[in-house]
Amino acid sequence: KAGVTQTPRYLIKTRGQQVTLSCSPISGHRSVSWYQQTPGQGLQFLFEYFSETQRNKGNFPGRFSGRQFSNSRSEMNVSTLELGDSALYLCASSLGIGSADTQYFGPGTRLTVL
Amino acid sequence: ILNVEQSPQSLHVQEGDSTNFTCSFPSSNFYALHWYRWETAKSPEALFVMTLNGDEKKKGRISATLNTKEGYSYLYIKGSQPEDSATYLCASRGSNSGYALNFGKGTSLLVTP
């Protein structure tokens, strides 16, 4: 079974621009979660989607948004980019949203904001 | 404890040494504790999911225990090998985190021959 894929792997943007990142979950997985990692920080939770509905949202500004499609693929969008948005963005998929459901991570998208 | 905390932050051991790390998490309204291994340039890899107090899980030379009443989990590596070098992350899921996975900052392990 193919793993979680994320595109693009690397991205360079300038302040004020917007960016869209894509995540394709493992086949059959209906839940996708997004995380941000910056130097010195742990993985910070962004959002969780299940069956096209946002089930949970982390403590991030409204510039960060996401969505999930009927095929469970997910996108996240960051508008009006700031330097501090430079980070590794990881998505993870799981079968469902149960507390014990294992999340399987993709390789991440490295975003650099200049 | 409101956040997930891991200690030590980093660890350097010799090949063959056994080692352990600690993960502390909010014990109230706890649902599950997840451990991941994250090697450089790779995706985080799931190791264990534990839900019950007293749970013990084992995968090869790696094992983990869970104490939900006091809010901690230990990860043990027996006979460390260079390929064990990675960052080990724990994450808890409970109502304190809005049921999202709340990650610690990880323990970075380096095993030298």
- The residue among A41, A45, A99 with the most chain B CBs within 10 A of its CB, best to mutate, is A99
Q: Do the Cβ atoms of B50 and A99 come closer than 8 Å? A: no
Q: Give the CA count within 13 Å in the CB-facing half-sphere of A48.
A: 22
**Residues of chain A neighbouring B42 (CB-CB closer than 8 A):** 107
In order, the DSSP letters of A83-102 are GGG-EEEEEEEESS--TTPP
- Residue B105 CA to residue B87 CA, distance in Å, equals 9
- The residue among A103, A104, A109, A110 with the most chain B CBs within 10 A of its CB, best to mutate, is A103
Q: What's residue B96's pLDDT?
A: 66
Each residue of A68-105: pLDDT tens digit? 999 999 999 999 999 999 999 999 999 988 878 899 99
Closest to B77 (Cα-Cα) out of B92, B67, B90, B64: B64
Closest to A25 (Cα-Cα) out of A44, A51, A45, A43: A51
Parallel, antiparallel, or unpaired: how do β-strands B30-38 and B45-50 relate? antiparallel
Find all residues with CB under 8 Å of B41, minimum gap 6, and list them: none
pLDDT band, residue B28 (cuts 50/70/90): confident
Q: What's residue B13's pLDDT?
A: 97
Each residue of A5-26: pLDDT tens digit? 999 999 999 999 999 999 999 9
CB contact under 8 A, A45 and B101: yes
Instruction: Give the residues across from A93 on adjacent strands.
Output: A32, A104
* Cα angle, residue B94 at apex, residues B22 and B65 outer, rounded to 5°: 30
CB contact under 8 A, A107 and B93: no
Each residue of A33-71: pLDDT tens digit? 999 999 888 899 999 999 999 998 999 999 999 999 999
A75 to chain B, minimum CA–CA distance in Å?
18
Each residue of B30-69: pLDDT tens digit? 899 999 999 998 999 999 999 999 999 999 999 999 999 9
B47 contacts chain A (CB < 8 A): no
Find all residues with CB under 8 Å of A62, minimum gap 6, and list them: none
B79 to chain A, minimum CA–CA distance in Å?
27
Closest to A91 (Cα-Cα) out of A27, A30, A45, A39: A45
Q: What's residue A108's pLDDT?
A: 96
**Residues of chain B neighbouring A33 (CB-CB closer than 8 A):** 100-101
